[in-house]
């Protein structure tokens, strides 16, 4: 079975390194050891604490074998150790102070490292994005999905590409049975769906095959198209996601479709950019603008928002598909709510009952699941006492905001969720 990076899992490399025998002590080393053992027990403990402190903070502490002015070995703090038989009292607070200082130093170093890594994360994605070749997408002439043979068994272990991704992305250890029947539990970062039924999940090409064709793959030969469709060497290329989210996405690029869960935008954008850069695919201007806006959602200085992975479910012989439950309906100081939902008429109406206009930039509406998400236009302001109606399932009427021509509210008991720019649930309404 091949791992996502093409290596066989669970086989540590044989480095051919022979065990190193213990080097005999020199007379000088023996002398130092004897002098150290002669120190009072509490002082020896303090020396070890000092050495551990240096290791914990990543600071090399010189322990010299030279002798100080008193003829004894130099301790970790640079002071000459007392000669054998000398009684030394160590205040009880000394070790505690050293430990406290170590903690503060370690915390500072860890924080600095995290900030550095965060900064480099978004910088890398933005750098790759800036290097993509910008070009209008070519006509989708001659494209057929069959031109990208997929789900091959490249290493002939009985598990094809789909199985390999399911094995790699299970949030609990996957079990592989006869015929590469895979059991496990999966989380769809696009929409928050979890399942233990693999048949309800698709393997999504982050950059769809048709999008790749439009962006340069039309000139590839059959071998390169096959390699792209089954790319296990770059984990960014393929994702296990819910079938509903994958089919809603279709062949769209980020200018036309984004994951319904806003907290996946950063990871999705960085994966998309990585795939385009790795496979030398072009990007069109609208796509680049959308990717930049998605990178702006990265936390801190730009590291992807961690994908919420559900806790492993208790072992069970049954399978189920669930969605992460949304928070309870509520409101904010803005006074904006979902005031009406007409499922038959495919309209959802938002009203501002507050005393001031509200900027709805970054606000979204999604259905239960979610399967569809509407993004309010940038700069859209809803005046106090005004309403905005969003139309789906057909063309928008006068004064309505257009969503999608596909029906959204076509299930009895559908619920509309209004989410603000910070990702907070503001209001809900059901049919």
Query: Does some domain include residue 11?
Result: no
Task: State pTM to two decimals.
Answer: 0.49
Same domain for 278 and 143, yes or no, is: yes
- Are 245 and 369 found together in one domain? no
| Same domain assignment for residues 179 and 256 | yes
What pLDDT does residue 38 have? 57
Lowest mean pLDDT among 99-108, 144-153, 330-339, 354-363: 99-108
Query: Which residues contact residue 367 at a Cβ distance below 8 angstroms, ignoring those fewer than 6 apart?
Result: 408, 409, 414, 415, 416, 417
Q: Dihedral of CA 245/251/252/253: which sign?
A: positive
Same domain, 57 and 130: no
- pLDDT class of 52 with cuts at 50, 70, 90: low
pLDDT digits (tens, 9 = 90+) for 192-211: 999 999 999 999 999 999 99
Q: Looking at the structure, do residues 356 and 229 belong to the same domain, yes or no?
A: no
Residues 250, 200: one domain? yes
Identify whether residues 142 and 264 lie together within a single domain: yes
Q: Of 295, 315, 334, which residue constitutes the final position of a domain?
A: 295
Q: Is the pLDDT of residue 419 over 80?
A: yes
Query: For residue 349, what pLDDT band results from cuts at 50, 70 and 90?
Result: very high
Contact between 81 and 36 (Cβ < 8 Å): yes
| Strands 401-402, 387-391: pairing kind | parallel
The domain of 249 spans 123-295
Residue 403 is predicted with a pLDDT of 87
153 and 75 in a single domain? The answer is no
Domain presence at residue 313: no
Q: Which of 233, 271, 290, 227 is nearest to 124 (CA)?
A: 271
Task: Give the pLDDT confidence of 227-241 residue by residue, as tens digits.
Answer: 999 999 999 999 999
Enumerate the β-bridge partners of residue 430. 415
pLDDT in tens, 79-97: 333 344 344 343 443 433 3
Tell me the C-alpha distance between 428 and 328, whole Å.
Answer: 8
Q: Which residue has the tokens 């402190």?
A: 53
CATH code of 416's domain: 2.60.40.1260
Last residue in a domain, options 295, 315, 345: 295
Nearest to 207 by CA among 135, 260, 282, 266: 282
69, 148: one domain: no
Decide which of 288 and 49 is more confident: 288
Shared domain for 146 and 245, answered yes or no, is yes
CA-CA-CA-CA torsion sign (5, 7, 9, 15)? negative
Asked whether the beta carbons of 161 and 154 are under 8 A apart, the reply is: yes
* CA 59/CA 238 separation, integer angstroms: 42
Res. 409: pLDDT tops 70: yes
Higher pLDDT, 327 or 212: 212
Q: Are residues 80 and 176 in the same domain?
A: no
* Structural domain count of the chain: 3
Asked if residue 317 is part of any domain, the answer here is no
Task: Say if residues 231 and 237 touch (Cβ distance below 8 Å).
Answer: yes
- Mind listing the pLDDT tens digit for each residue in 353-387? 989 999 999 999 988 766 778 889 888 999 989 99
- pLDDT class of 329 with cuts at 50, 70, 90: very low
**313: pLDDT strictly greater than 80:** no
Residue 314, pLDDT score: 42
Residues 100-116 have pLDDT tens digits of: 344 344 444 444 444 44
Percent pLDDT > 70 in the chain is 63
What's residue 399's pLDDT? 86
Residue 412 lies in a domain: yes
DSSP string, 84-136: TT------HHHHHHHHHHHHHHHHHHHHHHHHHHHHHHHHHHHHHHHHSPB-P
Query: Where does a domain end: 90, 110, 145?
Result: 90
The β-bridge relationship of strands 364-366 and 358-359 is unpaired
Q: How would DSSP label each residue in 387-427?
A: EEEEE-SS---TTPEE--SS-SS-STT-EEEEE-TTS-EEE
Residue 344 falls inside a structural domain: yes
304 located within any domain: no
**Does residue 214 surpass a pLDDT of 80?**
yes
Q: Tell me whether residue 217 is in a domain.
A: yes
Specify whether the CB–CB gap between 341 and 409 falls below 8 A: yes
Q: What is the pLDDT of residue 302?
A: 40
């Amino acid at each position: 079975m091949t791992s996502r990076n093409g290596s066989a899992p669970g086989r540590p490399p044989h480095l051919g390194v022979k065990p190193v025998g213990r080097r005999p002590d020199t007379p000088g080393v023996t002398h130092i050891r004897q002098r150290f053992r002669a120190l009072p027990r509490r002082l020896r403990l303090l020396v070890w604490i000092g050495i551990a402190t240096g290791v914990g903070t990543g600071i090399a502490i010189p322990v010299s074998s030279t002798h100080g002015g008193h003829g004894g070995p130099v301790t970790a703090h640079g002071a000459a150790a007392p000669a054998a038989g000398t009684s030394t009292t160590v205040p009880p607070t000394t070790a505690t102070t050293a430990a406290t200082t170590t903690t503060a130093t370690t915390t500072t170093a860890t924080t600095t490292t995290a900030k550095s890594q965060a900064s480099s994360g978004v910088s890398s994605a933005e750098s790759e994005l800036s290097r993509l070749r910008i070009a209008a997408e070519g006509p989708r002439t001659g494209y057929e999905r069959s031109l990208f043979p997929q789900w091959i068994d490249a290493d002939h272990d009985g598990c094809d590409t789909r199985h390999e991704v399911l094995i790699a992305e299970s949030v609990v250890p996957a079990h592989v049975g006869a015929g590469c029947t895979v059991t496990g539990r999966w989380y769809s970062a696009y929409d928050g769906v979890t399942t233990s039924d693999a048949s309800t999940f698709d393997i999504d090409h982050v950059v769809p095959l048709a999008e790749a064709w439009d962006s340069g793959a039309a000139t590839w030969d059959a071998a390169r198209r096959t390699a792209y469709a089954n790319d296990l060497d770059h984990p960014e290329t393929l994702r296990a996601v819910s079938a509903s989210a994958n089919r809603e996405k279709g062949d769209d690029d980020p200018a036309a479709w984004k994951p319904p869960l806003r907290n996946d935008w950063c990871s999705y954008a960085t994966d998309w950019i990585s795939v385009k850069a790795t496979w030398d695919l072009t990007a069109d201007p609208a796509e680049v603008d959308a990717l930049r806006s998605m990178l702006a959602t990265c936390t801190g200085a730009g590291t992807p928002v961690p994908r919420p992975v559900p806790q492993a479910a208790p072992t069970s012989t049954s399978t189920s598909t669930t969605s992460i439950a949304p928070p309870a309906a509520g409101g904010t100081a803005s006074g904006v709510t979902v005031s009406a939902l007409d499922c038959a008429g495919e309209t959802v109406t938002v009203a501002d009952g507050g005393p001031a206009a509200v900027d709805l930039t970054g606000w979204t509406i999604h259905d239960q699941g979610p399967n569809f998400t509407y993004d309010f236009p940038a700069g859209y302001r809803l005046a106090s006492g005004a309403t905005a109606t969003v139309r789906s399932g057909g063309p928008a009427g006068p004064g309505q905001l257009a969503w999608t021509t596909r029906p959204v509210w076509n299930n009895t008991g559908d619920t509309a969720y209004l989410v603000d720019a910070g990702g907070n649930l503001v209001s809900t309404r059901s049919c």
